[in-house]
Chains A and B, each alone.
Chain A
Amino acid sequence: ETGVTQTPRHLVMGMTNKKSLKCEQHLGHNAMYWYKQSAKKPLELMFVYNFKEQTENNSVPSRFSPECPNSSHLFLHLHTLQPEDSALYLCASSRGQGIGNTEAFFGQGTRLTVV
């Protein structure tokens, strides 16, 4: 399998639940990202990992907890979410820093609904 794969594609969870989103890339990239896309808002960067190290936490509430065990896998652990956290969560990977085309490849997203 190639590209960036996200599971699950859809998730409905209660505010007291704990769930995890998974992202996997088979592109040999060293940078991985979590973005949040809410209705009528631009994509919001949440976290960036480079060579498994978190390099960016864009003031994300602690109820979102990322984990990057290796350069190919990225998780987003969810705990005690709020209804306003309902959104499309997109994972992406890229070659990292450098000159030239370093486009981000995106997964298909997890559409999360918090009830």
Chain B
Amino acid sequence: AQKITQTQPGMFVQEKEAVTLDCTYDTSDQSYGLFWYKQPSSGEMIFLIYQGSYDEQNATEGRYSLNFQKARKSANLVISASQLGDSAMYFCAMREVYGQNFVFGPGTRLSALP
């Protein structure tokens, strides 16, 4: 069965600094996708970045990058040059390629400080 673990319930980051949010996953499938979402206090889940299990390069999207270590089954999100607007809950999720379900981790609450 799929499982996502996020061990950091809460994190603080100083404005303009970088921060890494941890995510480890468990699956027996070889083909899967990993996703990060941001959920501000408004409630909407905003897609940030995707990494496929066969992608050799780490994914990047603007200030977001994903540190993918397949052998360790980890997919950490790195946010560079943090902004106050980055304060939100961040969720790591996984989906097996031939499955339909997205499995989410418990989330990490990030607070950006001025």
Contacts and interface: CB of A to CB of B under 8 A. Distances in A.
Are A and B subunits of one complex?
A: yes
Contacts of B31: 99
B45 A92 contact: yes
A109 B99 CA distance: 24
Nearest to B59: A101
A67 B93 CA distance: 25
Nearest to A107: B44
Contacts, number: 63
Interface stretch (B21-29, B71-79, B80-88, B101-109): B101-109
B104 A42 contact: yes
B44 A96 contact: no
A109 to B, nearest CB: 4
Interface of B: 31, 33, 35, 37, 42-47, 50, 52, 91, 93, 95, 97-107
What 8 pairs between A and B have smallest CB-CB spacing? A106-B45, A43-B104, A109-B43, A108-B44, A101-B50, A42-B106, A103-B47, A48-B100
Interface of A: 31, 33, 41-43, 45, 48, 50, 55-56, 88, 90, 92, 94, 96-109, 111
